[in-house]
């Protein structure tokens, strides 16, 4: 009896360790200090955006919840499917889902999408242009995060995945496409579902608990598929079929978004750009100020060469072993299954911090 109870206890502990693991902040501060700072900053950004949502009430808390659920969906799907499993986060103080998901990454989504949505709402654009303005705003918030994040090894990318091979300061161009497409899709679904399923109120006036919960859940689950669909008309045909550089595809999407927003803004509502008290959005102002100030600090004072990223990375192994990557147009591209430690393209990291290079089939490593 006691043996069975002990085995059950061990199993429960192992299961719990898969769901959540902790890492001492002292260890992160010693080896990867900027990542600890990043984690703390995003906890602050998550708190500021949540505080704004709760203070203003209405649909704001539901929008905040929808962004977090959307982030959870995106992260889980990315880890589950080999075709899009192409990045690995460093290990933070709180890790979820088999140590693949840092808790603070869930707050990246409200920090970008919620903040951009609140900022754009003050422009009082027409409904069909607002999602694309939010997409542009999210990209502006993401750019320093993406560039500094990869430079400081907050995460690493797959070595030669064709969907992320074209880079800008080692950031895949498709990362910017992702943030624009997924952010705009979230706003479109969030407001669209309420317009279809619930009684119409002012944009951020609540339609009741049941309706708003439904909107948040549907948005969290289905804004990702809609975002993926936005890759179909521009990125996949140009990049996959004609071999056009991802930079061109991203700039085309950005120009299209700008054109849509500009078209709507040519004939604005009378209430557009009207003065409103900054007190309603003081948390958003503080969040944006903290966000950009943090990256200015990193540019001035961080030392990327001293960063040691401990955790999951692309699995090392024999060179030349490939796996298929399927595209929406039926093409089958390929990427290497393993990171070849003798010949890889990622110049933003190396293994100089270890005495012995990682052997084959190593997924947990120092970089």
Q: Is 124 left (phi over 0), alpha (psi -120 to 50) or beta?
A: left
**Is there a domain that residue 163 lies in?**
yes
Provide the pLDDT for residue 178.
Answer: 98
Could you give the residue ranges of the DSSP H alpha helices within the chain? 2-19, 25-31, 33-56, 60-80, 108-109, 115-121, 130-151, 173-197, 209-229, 235, 246-265, 282-301
Q: How far is CA 160 from the centre of its chain?
A: 20
Provide the pLDDT for residue 65.
Answer: 98
- Residue 241's contacts (CB-CB under 8 Å, 6 or more residues apart) are 329, 331
Q: Is 192 exposed, middle or buried (0-12, 13-18, 19+ CB in 10 A)?
A: middle
Look up residue 125 and give its two tokens. Answer: 């654009």
The phi and psi torsions of 258 (rounded to 5 degrees) equal: -60, -40
Structural domain count of the chain: 1
**Is there a domain that residue 13 lies in?**
no
Look up residue 117 and give its two tokens. Answer: 């949505």
Provide the pLDDT for residue 302.
Answer: 95
**Is there a domain that residue 198 lies in?**
yes
- b/e per residue 323-348 (b: at least 16 CB within 10 A): eebebeeeeebebbebbbbeebebeb
Task: Say how far apart CA 179 and CA 204 lie, in whole Å.
Answer: 23
Look up residue 363 and give its two tokens. Answer: 């997924």
**Is there a domain that residue 211 lies in?**
yes
**Is there a domain that residue 22 lies in?**
no
**Is there a domain that residue 302 lies in?**
yes
Look up residue 166 and give its two tokens. Answer: 């074209």
Block residue for tokens 């902040």? 25
Full residue range of the structural domain in which residue 54 is found: 33-92+101-268+277-308
Block residue for tokens 């840092």? 102
Task: Say how far apart CA 329 and CA 241 lie, in whole Å.
Answer: 9
**Is there a domain that residue 1 lies in?**
no
**Is there a domain that residue 228 lies in?**
yes
Task: Say how far apart CA 44 and CA 103 lie, in whole Å.
Answer: 13
Could you give the residue ranges of the DSSP H alpha helices within 156-245? 173-197, 209-229, 235
Q: Do 170 and 348 contact (CB within 8 A), yes or no?
A: yes
Block residue for tokens 């320093």? 144
Task: Say how far apart CA 116 and CA 45 lie, in whole Å.
Answer: 13
What letter would DSSP give residue 89? E
Task: Say how far apart CA 88 and CA 101 lie, in whole Å.
Answer: 9
Strand 171-172, strand 310-312: pairing = unpaired
How high is the mean pLDDT in each 10-residue block of the chain (367 residues)? 56 79 96 97 98 96 98 96 92 96 98 97 92 98 97 92 93 97 98 86 86 96 97 94 95 98 82 62 96 98 90 83 85 85 71 61 54
CB count within 10 Å of CB 110 equals 27
Alpha-carbon torsion, ordered 177, 181, 183, 186, to 10 deg: -160
3-state SS assignment for residue 269: coil
Block residue for tokens 């080692």? 170
> Which 3-state string (H, E, C) describes 304-351?
HHHCCCEEECCCECCCCCEEEEECCCCCEEEEECCECCCCCCCCCCCC
């Amino acid at each position: 009896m006691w043996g069975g109870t002990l085995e059950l206890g061990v199993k429960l502990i192992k299961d719990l360790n898969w769901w959540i693991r902790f890492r001492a902040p002292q260890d992160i501060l010693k080896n990867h200090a900027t990542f600890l700072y990043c984690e703390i900053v995003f906890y602050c950004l998550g708190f500021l955006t949540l505080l704004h949502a709760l203070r203003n009430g209405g649909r704001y808390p539901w929008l905040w919840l929808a962004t977090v659920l959307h982030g959870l969906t995106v992260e889980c799907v990315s880890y589950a499917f080999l075709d899009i499993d192409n990045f690995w986060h460093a290990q933070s103080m709180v890790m979820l889902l088999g140590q693949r998901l840092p808790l603070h990454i869930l707050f990246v989504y409200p920090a970008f999408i919620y903040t951009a949505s609140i900022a754009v709402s003050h422009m009082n654009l027409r409904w069909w242009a607002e999602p694309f303005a939010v997409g542009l705003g999210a990209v502006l918030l993401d750019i320093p995060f993406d560039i500094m994040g990869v430079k400081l090894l907050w995460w690493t990318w797959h070595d030669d995945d064709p969907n992320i091979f074209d880079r800008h300061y080692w950031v895949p161009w498709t990362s910017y496409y992702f943030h624009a497409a997924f952010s705009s899709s979230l706003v479109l679904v969030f407001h669209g579902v309420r317009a279809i399923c619930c009684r119409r109120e002012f944009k951020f006036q609540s339609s009741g608990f049941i309706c708003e919960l439904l909107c948040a859940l549907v948005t969290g689950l289905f804004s990702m598929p809609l975002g993926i669909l936005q890759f179909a008309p521009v990125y996949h045909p140009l990049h996959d079929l004609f071999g056009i550089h991802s930079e061109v595809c991203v700039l085309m999407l950005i120009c299209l978004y700008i054109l849509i927003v500009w078209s709507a803004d040519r004939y604005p509502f009378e209430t557009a750009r009207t003065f409103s008290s900054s007190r309603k959005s003081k948390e958003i102002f503080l969040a944006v100020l903290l966000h950009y100030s943090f990256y200015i600090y990193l540019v001035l004072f961080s030392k990327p060469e001293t960063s040691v990223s401990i955790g999951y990375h692309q699995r090392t192994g024999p060179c030349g072993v490939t796996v298929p990557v399927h595209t929406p147009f039926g093409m089958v591209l390929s990427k290497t299954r393993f990171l070849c430690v003798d010949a890889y393209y990622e110049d933003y990291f190396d293994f100089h911090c270890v005495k012995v290079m990682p052997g084959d089939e190593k997924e947990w490593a120092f970089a």
